[in-house]
Structure 1
Amino acid sequence: MTTRMRTTVTLPDDLVAHARAASGGNLSAYVERALRAQQLRDAAPAVQAWREQAANDTEELADIFGEDVA
């Protein structure tokens, strides 16, 4: 089970009003989805770098073993 932590943030009135209206009554879930989406965007450069490195590793293995290892 995921533990929860109560957190206080200060946001512009218009942003809070929009989030409350769009949240369907569950502001916490709405904010959680927004933060998780940002977390994925923040991780994208690291994932891309890993994918590029993995592609390089595959090419190197193919050179070593002389076969398609992808």
Structure 2
Amino acid sequence: MTMKERVTVSIPADLLAWAKGASSGNFSAYVERALRAQALSEASQAVAQWRGDATAAIEELADVFGEEVA
């Protein structure tokens, strides 16, 4: 099981309100999914630059990490 750590962040009130509404009551899980998706997106861009094939890199990373990356 992955160890979780409590953090404090400051974000604009309107963005917080939107995210809370979109989170279906589990804000922490929503933020975790958003951060993982961003990390996978950035990793896929780096792999694509290295390999020269963005679509394959995104699909491959999504398969490896079990996440959908848009």
TM-score of the pair, normalised by structure 1: 0.67
| RMSD after superposition | 1.2
Q: Distance in 1 between matches of 2:17 and 2:46?
A: 34
Question: Which has the higher relative contact order, 1 or 2, with Cα contacts under 8 A spaced 6 or more apart?
Answer: 2
Read off the aligned partner of 1:38 and give its amino acid letter.
Answer: Q
Instruction: Show the counterpart of 1:13.
Output: 13
Q: Distance in 2 between matches of 1:42 and 1:32?
A: 15
Query: Could you give the per-residue CA deviations for residues 12-36 of structure 1, whole angstroms, max 9, x where no partner exists?
Result: 0000001111101100000011111
Q: What is the percent sequence identity of the aligned residues?
A: 60
Matched, 1:32 2:52: no
Following TM superposition, the consecutive aligned residue runs of length 4 or more in structure 1 with deviations greater than 6 angstroms are: none
Q: Which structure 2 segments of 5+ residues have no match?
A: 53-70
Read off the aligned partner of 2:41 and give its amino acid letter.
Answer: R
TM-score of the pair, normalised by structure 2: 0.67
